[in-house]
Structure 1
Amino acid sequence: MLAKEAVQDERPCCAFSRRVEFVQRQQRGKRCKRYHLEFTTADPYWRITVKGYWIILGTDVTDQAAQQEYGRLWAPIGEKYGATVRVLDPEVLVESRSSRRVLAVEFPSYEQAKACYKDPAYTHAKEFALRASQRELIIIEGDLA
């Protein structure tokens, strides 16, 4: 059910629509962290934003200079897109052959995660990341909480 329909529905038919109605009672402009909903004054309906993530599986760093350059170039790019990097415990790699590092890069929305990857500045920075180690990157949407 779309959020727009959930707001108009008189009898909530699911937990999501009940949550929309509950959060709707709060002041305009506030955000519901659980469902990433925002009620705006311009649009009388809820807008759903789903977080986006890069999940990066990488080998050990073999070129420290390239890794440092990537880190230097990544900082302003990550800030521009509101990215937060989380280094995960390598023990989450249950069936890994070569990966030794796991990172989750969180973005405010899935669209921002995709846009960041396509950004020309990131394309340049990515060259250094690929020189520093072998890695695999996937872009997903959801909430890893």
Structure 2
Amino acid sequence: MKGNIPYTTKDVNSLVIDILVTRSGLAKEKQAELTQFILAWFDIMHAVKTNPTEVFAKVAEQLGQTGADFRADYGGLKKGDMAMNRQMFAREGGLVEAKAKILALLREDMRHGRMPREDLGIAGEPVNAALAQWKPLQAK
């Protein structure tokens, strides 16, 4: 297949970002619950790192794929870790830069048909609280 691939997740750090969106008031009101949600996400990412075969098989089953197919799809992603999360959620950290890059990409290619919103904020408090609390689950 021929074509021009401007970016891949193997080459560009953190332009594919898992996000959780909510109103700023709710983020403040439910910060403890959001932190618990993020702690669960960290547990899942740890399970992917420490037991990928089992995790990929379970996810693939839900998606109607084989574990090998899901592993191949997932293999193209540049995975984050705790150090990357700390860097991304630091004050004026990597998310600020990533947001600017994503907005620039969306403005350059208007096939999506909308102007991207630039008034969205980044609430790092629940993630930073989870980073301070998270401990890897012990293998059974």
Is the structural similarity TM-score above 0.5?
no
Structure 2 length-normalised TM: 0.23
Look at both structures and tell me which one has the larger radius of gyration over its CA atoms: 1
Higher helix proportion (structure 1 or 2): 2
Higher strand proportion (structure 1 or 2): 1
